[in-house]
C-alpha cells in the first residue's frame, strides 16, 4: 500500500511526495510534510501517530486494528493540538464505503446477518478492519431497532466453524492466493436473502479515497473516522 500511495501522490499535480518511510527509517525526514500517510502495522501505527500529532503534522491512516480504546487515545493526543487533523478509515475504497453504508441501512430489516471477508494470504490481521467495522455498524443498527438475537440453533460446533462474534454478528475470514480484498454481507429473513458484495480487484481501488483524505485532512481538525463525511 505504501508504494501504491507514493505512486498516486507523485502522479497528482497538486501534491508533492516529501518522504517515503520504511521500517527503521528516521521519521524526522518527514518533519516538513503537511500530511503523513500511514499504512504500516497495528504494532507500529500508534507511535507514528504520536510523532506526527506532537509536531502538528496531519495524518491519514489506513492501517487496521483501531479499537475504540485506540481511537480515544488519538482523541486525547489531539486535544493538545487543536489545529491538527487525523483521518482513520478502515477502507478507502469508495465502493467499500458504500457497501458498509448499505449494510448498515439494511440491518434493521433482517433477522440474520453474517459477514464473509476474503483477502490475500499475506494479510497479518483477521478479521479485516472493514469486516470489524461493518459488524459494529450492523450491531448498532440492530440494537437501535430493538432486534432480538439472531436465530441460530447450533449446539455443538468445531472451534471456529461459526466464525467470530463481533457485536452479535458472525464474521468469517478467508485467506487465499489470488485474492485482493473482498467482502460479502449476507442478510436473511422469512423467505428472502440479500447479499451485498464488494470486491477490490487491485490496490489502485484505494487511491482515490486516500487522495481525497490527504486533501481534506488539513481542513478537518480533530479525529475523523471513516471516509463517509468526505463523500456527503
Ligand atoms: N484502509 C484501507 O483501505 C486499507 C488498509 N490496509 C491496511 O494497511 C496496512 C498495511 O497493509 P499492506 O501494505 O498490505 O501491508 P504490508 O505488510 O505489505 O506493508 C506494511 C509495511 O509497513 C512497514 N512498516 C512496519 N513498521 C513500520 C514502521 N514503524 N514505520 C514504517 N514502516 C513500517 C513494513 O515493513 P517490513 O516489510 O520491513 O515489515 C511493510 O513494508 C494493514 O494494516 C492493512 O490491513 C490495506 C489496504 C487498504
Ligand atoms: O490488508 C488489506 O489488504 C486490507 N485491509 C483493510 C482491512 O483490514 O479491512 C482494507 C481492505 O480490506 C484491504
Report how far residue 145's alpha carbon sits from residue 111's, in angstroms, rounded to the nearest whole number: 11
Q: Are residues 180 and 134 in the same domain?
A: yes
| Domain total in the chain | 2
Q: Answer yes or no: do 150 and 66 share one domain.
A: no
- Chain mean pLDDT for the chain: 97
Specify the pTM: 0.96
The domain that contains 153 carries what CATH number? 3.30.360.10
DSSP structure string for 2-52: HHHHHHHHHH-TT--------TTS-GGGGTT-SEEEE-S-HHHHHHHHHHH
221/171 same-domain check: no
pLDDT at 200: 98
Q: For this structure, is 198 an active site residue?
A: no
Residues 208 and 197 in one domain: no
Does residue 101 sit in the same domain as residue 161? yes
Q: How far apart are CA 129 and CA 47, in angstroms?
A: 19
Pick from 89, 91, 174, 176 the residue to mutate for probing ligand 2's pocket: most ligand atoms within 8 Å of its CB.
91
pLDDT digits (tens, 9 = 90+) for 32-58: 899 999 999 999 999 999 999 999 999
Residue 35 pLDDT: 98
Q: Is 123 among the catalytic positions?
A: yes
Average pLDDT over residues 12-29: 95
Does residue 157 carry a pLDDT above 90? no
Instruction: State residue 190's pLDDT score.
Output: 97
C-alpha distances (whole Å) from 98 to each of 92, 162, 203 are: 11, 26, 17
Does 161 share its domain with 194? yes
CA dist., res. 16 & res. 136, Å (int): 36
Question: Residue 223 — very low, low, confident or very high, per pLDDT cuts 50/70/90?
Answer: very high
Q: What does the DSSP assignment read for 96-151?
A: HHHHHHHHHHHGGG-SEEEEEEEE-TT--SSS-HHHHHHHHHHHHHHHHHTPPPPP
**What is the 224 CA–ligand 2 centroid distance (Å)?**
18
**139 and 170 housed in the same domain:** yes
Alpha carbon of residue 172 to chain centroid: 17
Q: Take residue 155 and report the three cell numbers written for it.
A: 449446539
Q: Which of 7, 58, 81, 123 is catalytic?
A: 123
CA distance 92 to 224: 13
Coil, strand or helix: which one is 64? coil
Cα 214 to chain centroid distance, Å, stands at: 16
Q: Strand, coil or helix: what is 210?
A: helix
Strand partners, 207: none
Rounded Cα distance, 26 and 180, in Å: 31
State whether 14 and 108 are in the same domain. Answer: no
75: CATH:
3.40.50.720
Residue 218 confidence (pLDDT) above 90? yes
Whether 191 and 217 share a structural domain? no
Regarding an ipTM greater than 0.90, the answer is yes
Q: Report the chain's terminal Cα–Cα distance, integer Å.
A: 26
The response to whether 66 counts as a known ligand-binding position is no
Span 141-166, average pLDDT: 96
On whether both 73 and 172 belong to a single domain, the answer is no
For 172-213, the pLDDT digits (tens) are 999 999 999 999 999 999 999 999 999 999 999 999 999 999
**Stretch 157-170: mean pLDDT:** 96
The boundaries of the domain holding residue 107 are 94-201
Query: What is the side-by-side order of every strand in the sheet holding 85-88?
Result: 35-38, 58-61, 85-88, 222-225
**How confident is the model at residue 148, as a pLDDT?**
96
**Contact criterion met (CB below 8 Å) for 99 and 128:** no
Whether residue 177 sits in one domain with residue 225: no
Query: Region 212-218: what's the mean pLDDT?
Result: 98
Ligand that lies nearest to the alpha carbon of residue 37, given by its number in the listed order: 1
Residue 101 and residue 26 in one domain: no
**Per-residue confidence (pLDDT) for residue 30, from 0 to 100:** 87
Percent of the chain with pLDDT over 90: 97
The percentage of the chain sitting over the pLDDT mark of 70, rounded to a whole number, equals: 100
Give the pLDDT of residue 232: 83
Amino acid at each position: 500500500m505504501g508504494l501504491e500511495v507514493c505512486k498516486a501522490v507523485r502522479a497528482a499535480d497538486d501534491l508533492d511526495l516529501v518522504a517515503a518511510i520504511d521500517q527503521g527509517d528516521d521519521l524526522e525526514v518527514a518533519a516538513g510534510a503537511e500530511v503523513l500517510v500511514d499504512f504500516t502495522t497495528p504494532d507500529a501505527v500508534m507511535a507514528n501517530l504520536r510523532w506526527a500529532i506532537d509536531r502538528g503534522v496531519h495524518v491519514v491512516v489506513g492501517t487496521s486494528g483501531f479499537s475504540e480504546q485506540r481511537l480515544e487515545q488519538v482523541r486525547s493526543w489531539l486535544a493538545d493540538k487543536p489545529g491538527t487533523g487525523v483521518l482513520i478509515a478502515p477502507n478507502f475504497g469508495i465502493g467499500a464505503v458504500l457497501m458498509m453504508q448499505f449494510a448498515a441501512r439494511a440491518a434493521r430489516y433482517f433477522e440474520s446477518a453474517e459477514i464473509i471477508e476474503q483477502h490475500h494470504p499475506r494479510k497479518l490481521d483477521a478479521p479485516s478492519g472493514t469486516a470489524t467495522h461493518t459488524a459494529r455498524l450492523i450491531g448498532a443498527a440492530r440494537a437501535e431497532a430493538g432486534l432480538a438475537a439472531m436465530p441460530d440453533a447450533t449446539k455443538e460446533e468445531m472451534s471456529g466453524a461459526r466464525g467470530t462474534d463481533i457485536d452479535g454478528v458472525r464474521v468469517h475470514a478467508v485467506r487465499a492466493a489470488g485474492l485482493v480484498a473482498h467482502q460479502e454481507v449476507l442478510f436473511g429473513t422469512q423467505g428472502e436473502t440479500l447479499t451485498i458484495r464488494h470486491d477490490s480487484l487491485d490496490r489502485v481501488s484505494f487511491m482515490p479515497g486516500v487522495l481525497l483524505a490527504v486533501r481534506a485532512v488539513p481542513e478537518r481538525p480533530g479525529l475523523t473516522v471513516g471516509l463517509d463525511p468526505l463523500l456527503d
